[in-house]
Amino acid sequence: MIEIQNVTKVYKLTRKQMEEQKTKASMKIAVKDVSLTAREGEIFGILGPNGAGKTTLLRCVATLLNPTQGQITVNGFDTVKEGEKVRRSLAFLTNEVKLDAHFSPKYLFRFFGRLYGLPEDVIEARRKELFEYFDITKFEDKRMEELSTGMKQKASIAVSLVHDPDIIIFDEPTNGLDIITARAVTDYLKLLRERGKLVIISTHIMPEAQKLCDRMAMIINGSCVFQGTLQEALEQTGADDLEDAFFELYRRKEETV
Amino acid sequence: MKNVGIIMRKELYRVFSDKKMVFGLFIMPALVVIGLYLLMGIMMASIMKDWEEHEPTVLVYQAPESFQEYMDQVREDNEVHSADTVYKWHELPVGLYTIGDIRYHIIWLEDEQEIEAAKEDIYNGELDLILAFPKGFDQQIQNYQVGDIIPDIETYYNPSEDYSDNAREDVLAFILEGYRNQLLEKRLGSLEQLEIYTIDRDNEESVIQNDNKAQGKLFGSIIPYMITILLFAGAMSLGADSFAGEKERGTMAALLMTPIKRSTIVYGKLFALMILSGLSALIYGGAMIFAMPLLYRTLGAMTGQELNFPPSQMCMMLILIVTLVFLYVALIAVCSTLAKNMKEGSTFISPVYMIVMVIGVISMFRGEEVTNLQYLIPLYGPTMALKNVFTLDITLPGFLLATLSNLVIGALFAWLTAKMFHSEKIMFNA
């Protein structure tokens, strides 16, 4: 379970960043007082436009960043004080976290398995299972740099799941993937949910979220404007689908600014 | 510790499984060194052979009779070629005189007007040397009284021409010196009067020295410089890649997502870098030791294989090198962790490399006078210690302090790198 309590994340901007973002403010509030709870056995969507603060929030959960205010616990462990225990129970997949292109999926799987302290036979069993599921076996000895984007993504997913984590955080899971690979990935996320795992995805593709997510939170300009099920989103906004519901929430938020 | 090993093995595997990297890092430098030394040896031998084979052409202006007699006498003494004219210089005959191992082409000139043409030829490199005697040289010598002006023989030569430079040196040493002695003998009756005393005529044990220290002095001036430069250069590009490069490629984030401590990642990388840079320096140094005799052999001088250090010296050198590598890689780690990408990493490391180079150069000229406390100065002290190990001028406290300096400063930088790994700003530019 993940509990996010009143989390705010503020970035200090360098002069160069201030110039790039054409702002005079030396601080940027990326996430503002967000509180969420996500539980095992569900796919939880963090929805919002680009730059809304989704990735920052997920990076805080994954212990890569520390919240400026508030607290995040993962399976009861504090992300700031007990980072190592938190990382042991989750997998974080994002475009910014990449695997070394020089190595093969097989080598990387073993390498990360060892870093998680898994015995060799467990690593081997996990590798067989995941490589077969994602159809990686036939190119497991090729270097990552020789693989296509889809293959790379599949290999990255398999490697990140080596330790069979309880929580899987997936930032833009189908971004840049072809339709077949995207389906393989979403199918696997559903499988993980069936196995009782908590899957958190961030996306700005509303139809994908509508199909996949059991519950969701909508982040606009760093603030959480909605948290609940698809049904609750539709009821609250009077929209027919998630995309319309999102736009309605977006409009309301803009009005309050 | 187990995880440090896992990270270290991965770093090593990354290098050793990349043929281009192995070639660039280990094989190419060795080949370049061997090739370069071989080429230098061949080139230098060929130049020296050319010098030896060259027959200098010397124009003697207003040669006194005594000199001409001396030349004939020397030539006859050596039972060499006749004075047949083989060719002419400005209508003047050229005689061949072999003195020692050198065959001189001698032109006897009396006409003052030709001297300018001869100087022109010296300038153009067609003549090697002019020996100009003053008028009435023999008379001046015969009538000499103490207090008279001593007759002066003028030489004209072209120092920018090797043949001319060598010809002057040879003529002064092998012809004019003998000629002077002959004249002195005539004036004084015997040269022994002039000699007064000799030095070490029968004393074969004149040299009392520690051979190791003597050869250490020779190597001590250059090897510590080479070792420090090579150690640093070996770790430089790899360090930039291992820290800044991994950040740039996004692969560092994957490591940071694992449940191991960040300091473990840092130490794993540092140890791998130490091994790689040590190995690179070893191969480079080995290639030099292998290649140096090639150079010396062609020159007929000493061989580089004469290095023979006592075990204690070897141990000290090894400990100093290992701890120095630790300090270098820790320094490189700090610089490249600060950087956002490889390019920036290389830029940050460059000033440190400059400092290491400057200290290396200083170590070539300074040494014995280092005080114990100076051995503690980071980078400088240990480099000096390395030099003084070679020259056997190291003291035990000096060695211990230099090692301590490496370890403490290295550990400080390693700790700083680990601290930096916890910074969002540095690791994620957040």
Condensed to tens digits (0 to 9), the pLDDT of residues B131-164 reads 999 999 999 988 888 888 889 999 999 999 999 9
- Residue B254: list chain A partners with CB under 8 A: 97-100, 112
Partner residue opposite A99 with nearest CB, options B6, B254, B259: B254
Burial A85-112 (b: 16+ CB within 10 A, else e): bbbbbbbbbbeebbbbebbbbbbbbbbb
Give DSSP secondary structure letters for A66-102: --SEEEEEETTEETTTSHHHHHHTEEEE-TTS---TT
Long-range contacts of A236-243 (CB under 8 A, 24+ apart): A241/A206, A241/A207, A241/A210, A242/A47, A242/A206, A242/A207, A242/A209, A242/A210, A243/A206, A243/A207, A243/A210
Cα separations in angstroms, B380 against A193, B55, B363: 61, 51, 8
Q: Which residues pair with A37 in a beta bridge?
A: A3
Across residues A102-119, what is the average pLDDT?
A: 95
Inspect the interface and report whether the beta carbons of A97 and B250 lie closer than 8 Å: yes
pLDDT at B305: 43
| Superfamily of A2-89+165-256 according to CATH | P-loop containing nucleotide triphosphate hydrolases (3.40.50.300)
Nearest-Cα distance to chain A for B250, in Å, is: 5
Across residues A215-242, what is the average pLDDT?
A: 89
Are A189 and A168 a contacting pair, CB within 8 Å?
A: yes
Closest among B355, B404, B358, B366 to B388, alpha carbons compared: B366
The angle at the Cα of A24, spanning A19 to A26, to the nearest 5 degrees, equals 90
Q: What is the 3-state secondary structure (H, E, C) of B229-269?
A: HHHHHHHHHHHHHHHHHHHHHCHHHHHHCCCCCHHHHHHHH
CATH architecture group of domain B54-193: 3-Layer(aba) Sandwich (3.40)
Alpha-carbon gap, residue A202 to A173, rounded angstroms: 8
Are A228 and A57 a contacting pair, CB within 8 Å?
A: no
pLDDT at B234: 80
Inspect the interface and report whether the beta carbons of A103 and B257 lie closer than 8 Å: no
Closest among B363, B382, B362, B364 to B374, alpha carbons compared: B382
What's the burial of B61, exposed, middle or buried (CB within 10 Å: 0-12/13-18/19+)?
Answer: buried
Are B255 and B266 a contacting pair, CB within 8 Å?
A: no
Partner residue opposite A98 with nearest CB, options B7, B254, B256: B254
Alpha-carbon gap, residue A163 to B258, rounded angstroms: 10
Structure tokens at B144: 């000499």
Please check whether residue A97 touches B, CB under 8 A.
Answer: yes
pLDDT at B214: 64
Q: What is the pLDDT along chain B (430 residues), one digit of tens a residue?
A: 788 999 999 999 999 998 888 888 888 878 887 888 788 888 888 888 888 889 999 999 999 999 998 988 887 555 444 555 556 777 777 888 888 888 888 999 888 888 898 999 999 988 999 999 999 999 998 888 888 888 999 999 999 999 999 999 999 998 999 999 889 888 888 777 777 788 888 888 887 776 666 666 666 677 778 778 888 888 888 899 999 999 999 899 999 999 999 999 999 999 999 899 888 878 877 777 777 666 666 555 444 445 566 788 888 888 888 899 899 999 999 999 999 888 999 999 999 999 999 988 888 877 667 888 889 999 999 988 888 887 778 889 999 999 999 999 999 999 999 999 999 888 887 7
Nearest-Cα distance to chain A for B271, in Å, is: 17
Chain A contact probe: residue of B7, B10, B242, B338 with most A CBs at under 10 A:
B10
Q: How far is CA A142 from the centre of its chain?
A: 27
pLDDT at B217: 66
What's the burial of A30, exposed, middle or buried (CB within 10 Å: 0-12/13-18/19+)?
Answer: buried
Closest among A232, A91, A16, A243 to B258, alpha carbons compared: A91
Alpha-carbon gap, residue A55 to A69, rounded angstroms: 17
Q: Which residue of A has its CA nearest to B258?
A: A87
Chain B contact probe: residue of A56, A59, A100, A168 with most B CBs at under 10 A:
A100
Question: Chain B interface residues facing chain A, Cβ-Cβ under 8 Å?
Answer: 3, 6-7, 10, 13-14, 17-18, 246, 249-251, 253-261, 424-425, 427-428, 430
* pLDDT tens-place string over residues A179-210: 888 888 889 999 999 999 999 999 888 888 88
Are B151 and B176 a contacting pair, CB within 8 Å?
A: no
Kindly state the DSSP code that residue A107 receives in the 8-state scheme. H
Neighbouring residues of B361: CB distance < 8 A, sequence distance ≥ 6: B225
- Residue B257: list chain A partners with CB under 8 A: 62-64, 87, 91-92, 97, 160
Partner residue opposite B251 with nearest CB, options A88, A92, A100: A100
How is chain B split into domains, by residue range? 2-40+210-428, 54-193
Are A227 and A215 a contacting pair, CB within 8 Å?
A: yes
- Classify strands B57-61 and B88-89 as parallel, antiparallel or unpaired: unpaired
Across residues A211-240, what is the average pLDDT?
A: 90
pLDDT at B293: 67
Q: How far is CA B97 from the centre of its chain?
A: 38
pLDDT at A66: 92
Alpha-helix residue ranges (DSSP H) falling in B79-143? 114-124, 137-142
Order of strands, sheet of A223-229, starting from the edge strand that comes earlier in the sequence: A90-93, A167-171, A198-203, A43-47, A215-220, A223-229
pTM of the prediction? 0.77
Kindly state the DSSP code that residue B86 receives in the 8-state scheme. -
Inspect the interface and report whether the beta carbons of B251 and A116 lie closer than 8 Å: no
Alpha-helix residue ranges (DSSP H) falling in chain A? 15-20, 54-61, 83-88, 105-115, 120-133, 149-160, 179-194, 206-212, 230-237, 242-256
Nearest-Cα distance to chain A for B334, in Å, is: 20
- Residue type present at position A219: I
Structure tokens at A124: 């081997």
pLDDT at B32: 83
Quote the mean pLDDT of chain A.
Answer: 90
Structure tokens at A56: 């920052």
pLDDT at B21: 85
pLDDT at B303: 41
Q: What is the ipTM of this complex?
A: 0.89
Alpha-carbon gap, residue A73 to B415, rounded angstroms: 28
Are A249 and A220 a contacting pair, CB within 8 Å?
A: yes
Determine which helix (DSSP H) or strand (DSSP E) holds B383, and give its type and residue range.
helix B380-390
Q: Over pLDDT 90: what percentage of chain A?
A: 58
Alpha-carbon gap, residue B105 to B121, rounded angstroms: 14
pLDDT at B302: 44
Partner residue opposite A102 with nearest CB, options B7, B14, B250: B14
